[in-house]
A and B are shown apart, each in its own frame.
Chain A
Amino acid sequence: MSLADLYREIILEHARHPQHKGPLDGPVTLQAGLDNPTCGDEVVVQVRLGPGGLVEAAKFDGVGCSISMAAASIMSEMLVGRTLAQVKELTESYTAMVSGQKAPTDDLQDLVAFAGVAQFPMRVKCAALPFHALQKGISRYEGGI
């Protein structure tokens, strides 16, 4: 395992120039924040659902290492146009990959870049953080909270 296996170019690129970062303008359907108390990564995810229950806009904000910030950036890009059911599927597929329970699959698209995280147990939480925040937001929304 070399450093370059963890820090793929696309990850460093997104960490440097995050996409969809900042507060979501307009109505917010669901949101949640989460932090990683052991290391201080913090992320807030905001999502707006549009017609047909499709994600119309998604943004994140936060501070943290390049793994957590790049994961939040790529995640936000990929959410748009999906149903909540598809978002949940994506989340499960991704968290299974970074925790080493599943090989990368094509549905993960750019998120495949995070496959190397499974070899760095101390960084799995960083990679999963934005998705865990998203999951929290979805279950709150579905629970009517």
Chain B
Amino acid sequence: MSGRIDRRQDFPLLVGPEGAELTYLDSAATAQKPEVVLAALAHYYRYDNANVYRGVYSLAARATAAFEAAREKVARFIHADPDEVVFTRGTTESINMVAWAWARAELKPGDEILTSEAEHHSNLVPWQEAARATGAELRFVPLSEDKTVSVDSVLGAISQRTRIVALAQVSNVLGNLPLEVARISEAAHRVGAVVLIDGAQSVPHLPIDVHAMDADFVAFSGHKMMGPTGIGVLYGKRQILAAMAPFHFGGEMISHVDPEVSTYKDAPQKFEGGTPPIAQAIGLGVACDYLSGLDMAQVMAHDRRLGELAASRLREVPGVHVYGPRGDRMGVVSFNLDGVHAHDVATALDQQGICVRAGHHCCQPLMRQLGVAATARASFYAYNTEQDVDKLTAGVLSTMEFFHHVAR
């Protein structure tokens, strides 16, 4: 594991007089964008802008080709086939699409939806609603002592009644090493269940091979992997997407429309009703190529190294609590300072140019499991360096000093 990447200069927001002072440690919320992505967005609007599929003129053909080329880039990035890549607005919409179009058709009373209390609200609330609508039951994988999900506990919780297993591969609070999805898929498929992976925090940070994972669905967001906002992906296995009904009905997704009844295109288009986010998809395609150029194994090693370094440095500070696994981890580090609320920590760090998130991170049940109302969270990506970890540690020390000195 070498994983030493230093690409800050590729990110316009992080260079220049103001940006150079910034220590951006909130990539788990959204990532900064490299120049190549910004340039691709501008290029599309300047030279290729037209609606996709509909036009006969060559400009429209160019836009359509660029849009479909983006789908191919994304497919290559996750080792899927292009017709298994559905463009959505993001992880939340991708999961909702499954919770509506798949779950409401497939689940019935007595069935079980298996998830965990460590999930982002986006991978919990849609299942609560699907359970309510179908009479299926929500089940939660017992969490380990550090509140992470382990494959063994997932395997133990899968029953003959399980119809879907919906879990994040990497938690946006705990920064656990990625779940070995293939083992979960094997056990789930044995009882006839499908597997949905919330890849919001994994797809941006490690090599992903959806076919090797053998997951039925993988959801992720473009904006967390250096792409634009407003674009995300639902990967679905070909035969499952073929059997699944559309979710958004309207233009672009139809094949033939009569006044009373219509027929629909094949996947993935049948799931993409309306004008899609064309520029955003193209931007995401470029982000995938940029990340592949860095080599995802190196990106993962880099993020891990910074995450592990930050966690161990912070653990050395008396009065600092670090959540999540001890030792090996990804580049997401949640922590609290004794006697100082996470909001106050975030404001104090912001005064030093350090951007961390504070709050419940859309994981209220997990906060309850951790026994806290909120945490601060630092998260790392390819533009961060060891210096950023140094700044964070120094910032936390001076925050501690400020609050404990003044309050004495």
Contacts and interface: CB of A to CB of B under 8 A. Distances in A.
Contacts of B249: none
B343 A123 contact: yes
Nearest to B405: A12
30 contacts: A1-B351, A3-B347, A3-B351, A4-B406, A7-B403, A7-B406, A9-B406, A12-B406, A13-B407, A16-B339, A16-B407, A38-B359, A39-B358, A39-B359, A39-B360, A40-B359, A40-B360, A40-B364, A40-B367, A40-B373, A42-B373, A63-B373, A64-B341, A64-B373, A65-B341, A65-B343, A66-B403, A67-B343, A122-B347, A126-B343
Contact of B344 (A9, A63, A67): A67
A12 B403 contact: yes
Contacts of A61: none
Interface string A27-62: 000000000001111100000000000000000000
Nearest to A6: B347
B402 interface: yes
A141 interface: no
B342 interface: yes
A120 B351 CA distance: 10
B287 interface: no
Interface of B: 339-344, 347-348, 351, 358-360, 364, 367, 373-374, 402-403, 406-407
B347 A40 contact: no
Contacts of A63: 373
Contacts of A40: 359-360, 364, 367, 373-374
Nearest to B374: A40
A2 interface: yes
Given A7-B403, A65-B343, A66-B341, 8 more contacts: A3-B351, A3-B402, A7-B406, A16-B339, A40-B359, A42-B373, A64-B373, A66-B403
A123 B351 CA distance: 13
A38 B348 CA distance: 18
A4 B401 CA distance: 12
Contacts of B402: 3, 7
A65 B348 contact: no
Nearest to A13: B407
Given A12-B407, A66-B341, A123 B359 contact: no
Interface string A117-129: 0001011001000
B343 A39 contact: yes
A89 to B, nearest CB: 29
Contacts of B351: 1-3
B363 to A, nearest CB: 11
Contacts of A4: 406
Nearest to A39: B359
A42 B373 CA distance: 10
B73 to A, nearest CB: 34
Nearest to A12: B407
B344 A66 contact: yes
B407 A123 contact: no
A39 B344 contact: no
Contacts of B339: 16
B408 to A, nearest CB: 9
Interface string A4-34: 1011010011011000000000000000000
A42 B367 CA distance: 14
A51 B100 CA distance: 57
A117 to B, nearest CB: 10
The 5 closest A-B pairs by CB, nearest first: A65-B343, A65-B341, A39-B359, A12-B407, A40-B374
Contacts of A122: 347
A65 B359 contact: no
Contacts of B358: 39
| Residue of A7, A64, A65, A67 with most chain B CB atoms under a 10 A cut-off | A65
B141 to A, nearest CB: 24
A11 B374 CA distance: 20
B347 A120 contact: yes
B342 A65 contact: yes
